Structure 1
Amino acid sequence: MKKIFSYFFVSILLIGLLSACGTSDKDSTNGSGDNKSDKKVLTMGTSADYAPFEYIDTAKGDEIIGVDADIAKAVAEKLGYEVRFQDMDFGGLIQSLQSGQVDFVMSAMSATDERKKSVDFSETYYTSKHIIVSKKGSGIKSVNDLSGKKVGVQLGSIQEEKAKELAKEVNMTVENRNRIPEIIQEIKAGRFDAAVIEDTVAKGYLDNNPDLEGFTIEDADGGYAIAFPKDSKLTEEFNKVLKEMIDNGEIDAIIKKWFE
């Protein structure tokens, strides 16, 4: 009888210990979850070849940096989100939004009427101009000088649309490439006579390539904005914070940081 009682007592004790362990594990899991960041991670699509807006300084690492990267992180932080960057060709950014591959796009993208048919946009945070870039000594000093020339543009960019518009005025051929460095190389190799590039980006190449020159087209189309899938709740959330940052000077400070 003693042995039976002892076995019974030990069994009850073991069951109690196992139950306690189970409770401890559960509490530990919950505690661990509470200690982790509750921030939702948003994926931002971008084409990281457009300094100073978004690019990779390979001498310092593989992180995507620039105006758009800083603005995205600042807005997201204020809203309680974290941002993960996904680099892709500019021409595929709208499609990536529509397919749900990314949550939003920041890539020096202009809010054109055509794009608004496919995606929603935030407030404009930067207004740009275009520069016609060519080899020094090319003799290309005005839009009319592009007649009979082959002009390069980035695929899917506002500059591609601008070049096609100019092609209606002068007899020039427009060809696109996925990345700005490709376009610059095509000019240097003589396969392009000139290119239409956003002015701030173009100035960076002009400063670092004394064999290139350019002039500004003053009638730039639209400004840069954040793109979202149609009817995304993020549009209103981001827009509210973006407006505040524009009004209080935070956006201007970020832009000046990268342009000085």
Structure 2
Amino acid sequence: MEGLLRQSQWRIIDQSTASPHFHALQSFAMDDTLCASVGAGQAPATARTWVHQNTIVLGIQDTKLPFLQDGMQFLKNKGYQVIVRNSGGLAVVLDDGVLNISLILPEAEKGIDINRGYEAMWQLIQQMLADFPVEIEAREIVGSYCPGSYDLSIGGKKFAGISQRRLRRGVAVQIYLCVTGSGSERAALVGEFYRLAKQGELTKFAYPEIAPEVMASLSELLGVQLTVGDCMLRLLQQLKQNSDLLYAGQLNEHELGLLPGYYQRIVERNERIAGM
């Protein structure tokens, strides 16, 4: 576990203060680009941070909901843009109180066991919040949106979810951290989406029954007004402790050549969903 966080170099690409014009589709194309680059040895281990304005990110399974367009129209009426990511999982909420962190790592010769990736991120968040007298658990929180075995929670209330994307010998371990705002309001929004998109029909896939009270933000759980900026500082401190060199960077020349292709792929997938 410790070995994955410990890298000789950590490059940080900070997009946590990007403009409202920075579209979430670009983020997922960025992570695929970084996976391919880091996996090919063209770049060091990279941490990317990102924040997007009111966006609902659907998973592939969500696109099979029987009344998907009704659910999407509800979200759009609430002022959210809706996209479909190029990996598994289910719907999550992004807004300016949610910090996303991607750790992009090269797969060793034997590969990175999937649980090691999850546990490295869990360890990172524990280190970032070590000065608070709380236990951060990693287990599925039933009733949350996008539930998984590595939901991060305090006192049974989920504040973060972890996913992984593997591509061309690179691994992106991704987390969304609900830092500020109301976790239960975000959950209620997703719950209404599922109600309208399913409308009581039987489906092959079991979509979550959302219980808004099981989700909260870190600010709510810790009783302090944390900000995305606060969490960024905590992240940088931990990456510095886990490397010999931490430096801020952007996409290199190799990555700039890869990005358009990965962006086009995810755009085309979303165009197909929009035309359903």
Q: TM-score, length-normalised on structure 1?
A: 0.26
Q: TM-score, normalised by structure 2?
A: 0.24
Could you say which structure has the higher helix fraction? 1
Specify the structure having the higher radius of gyration (Cα): 1
